Amino acid sequence: MSPETTLAGVAVLIDAGPTYEDIDPVRFLGNRSSGKMGFAIAAAAVAAGANVTLVAGPVALATPPGVARRVDVRSALEMRAAVLAAVNGADIFIATAAVADWRVAEYSARKIKKGPSGAPVLELIENPDILAEVAAREPRPFVVGFAAETDHVAEHARAKLVRKKLDLLAANHVDERVGISADDNALELIWPGGSETLPRAPKAELARTLVARIAAHYHARAAA
């Protein structure tokens, strides 16, 4: 492994999976993220020598061997708290989680019952943007975001890179075959000075390529 692609001695914080936003004790709002890409990135970062902390939403995945610490969370607010508690020691933050954009304004401690007044109307409020919050810190780790786009991938992704002040953004094109819960994936890597396509590959292989690119960009910035 060349010095630019190794992460020996580097602390990497990764969030992964969906978040579940509880409505009442039996219901929640969720999404179809499997967490596979984040876990594959954690495994690849371990293989590159990193000290990895993994903050995981509700997923059915075993911790990759060698991950130093795993913190399990359920909601976006829990994920935010776990990320902020770990971010001070991190050199690189990789936000792969599909954080729910909204949560219900008021959790009902009692199960909501059907009744004569008809279907309930849920009021939603926006969740904090964990990635943008980490990127706004000073000092901050090297910040890598993800974006799932269905159209105008490069254009939307570059706008997100600028808006959230990221060092690197990995955008995937979501359709029925490639994307959020699929086993393979393709990525468009975007940074302030350029872009690169990482062609479609199984997630484990793509994760290794991505981690090597993240390491190269991280070391290039550290040397600048």
- What does the DSSP 8-state code read for residue 87? G
The reply on whether position 95 binds ligand CTP by CB under 6 A is yes
Euclidean distance between CA atoms 25 and 65, whole angstroms? 33
Query: And the tokens for 167?
Result: 């060092």
Q: Contacting ligand CTP (CB under 6 A), which of 55, 130, 206, 212?
A: 130
* Residue 12 vs 99, nearer CB to ligand CTP: 99
The reply on whether position 57 binds ligand CTP by CB under 6 A is no
- What does the DSSP 8-state code read for residue 28? E
By CB under 6 A, the count of residues binding ligand CTP is 14
* Residue 122 vs 132, nearer CB to ligand CTP: 132
The reply on whether position 127 binds ligand CTP by CB under 6 A is yes
* Residue 60 vs 125, nearer CB to ligand CTP: 125
> Least distance to ligand CTP from the beta carbon of 137, Å?
13
| Number of CB atoms found within 10 A of residue 211's CB | 26
Give the catalytic positions in this structure: 31
Show the 3-state SS of 113-179. Answer: CCCCCCCCCCCEEECCCHHHHHHCCCCCCEEEEEEEECCCHHHHHHHHHHHCCCCEEEEEECCCCCC
Q: Footprint of ligand CTP on residues 140-199 (CB under 6 A)?
A: 145-148, 160
Residues forming the site for ligand CTP (CB under 6 A): 76, 95, 97, 99, 101, 127, 129-131, 145-148, 160
